[in-house]
Amino acid sequence: MKKRIILKLSGEIFGDGKGNGVNMVSYNRIAKSILKIQKENKIELGIIVGGGNIFRGREKDNNFNRVEADNMGMIATIINGLGLQEALGNKGKLMTAIKIDSIVEQFNRKKANEYLEKGHIVIFAGGTGNPFFTTDSAAALRACELNADLILKATNVNGIYDKNPDQYKNAKMYKKISYIEAIEKKLKVMDSTAFAMCWENKIPIIVFNIKDLDKVLKEKDIGTTVS
């Protein structure tokens, strides 16, 4: 059984039925599942949260300055981090790559390690703290820094496909794929920087449907494994 795991959650799962806005019911629902999988699998668990439910400015306006858009997106992840921390109660610890000392603790590798070893679920918000990097890259970075055994990436589809399954009925799902294949095929489920970091540090990735969160560590046939 893998011991230390980084779970990447997209911001949309914290929104309403369409993945938009802030929804307290969603925070509580996801927190319940997170607490369950940590307890049942006896793992150390870190969470990377996205912010797409709050802000996706670049997708709607390509003229919007990339740096400002990315900064707004990083702040959106902190909002989700605060919501999830509240839902997790005293088990949750929130750390951010952006310095906002009066609201949230800044990321520190040694302190994060201490929290994980003590059984806290550590939420990492603020992305990498720099524009031009996705929350996928943040997940890979934290996994490398904290010597994680595995990255779990929750999505709205069952795994990695050769093309968009929402657009193509004949889309093929991969059960296993190598890092280099994922990069060469330009598969959009994670960015190439994240794949490359995991490849270099030999950290496997499982991409799966968020609906399978409760059982992803118990059933071997769920999702796509990148290794």
Measured CA to CA, the distance from residue 123 to residue 220 in angstroms comes to: 26
Measured CA to CA, the distance from residue 28 to residue 47 in angstroms comes to: 15
What are the chain's domains? 4-155+214-220 (3.40.1160.10)
What are the pLDDT tens digits along the chain (227 aa)?
569 999 999 999 999 888 889 989 999 999 999 999 999 999 999 999 999 999 875 566 677 888 998 999 999 999 999 999 999 999 999 999 999 989 999 999 999 999 999 999 999 999 999 999 999 999 999 999 999 999 999 998 999 999 888 889 899 999 999 999 999 998 878 889 999 999 999 999 999 999 999 999 988 889 999 99
Give the pairing type, strands 105-106 and 121-125: unpaired
pTM of the complete model = 0.94
* DSSP notation for 156-173: SSSSEESS-TTT-TTPPE
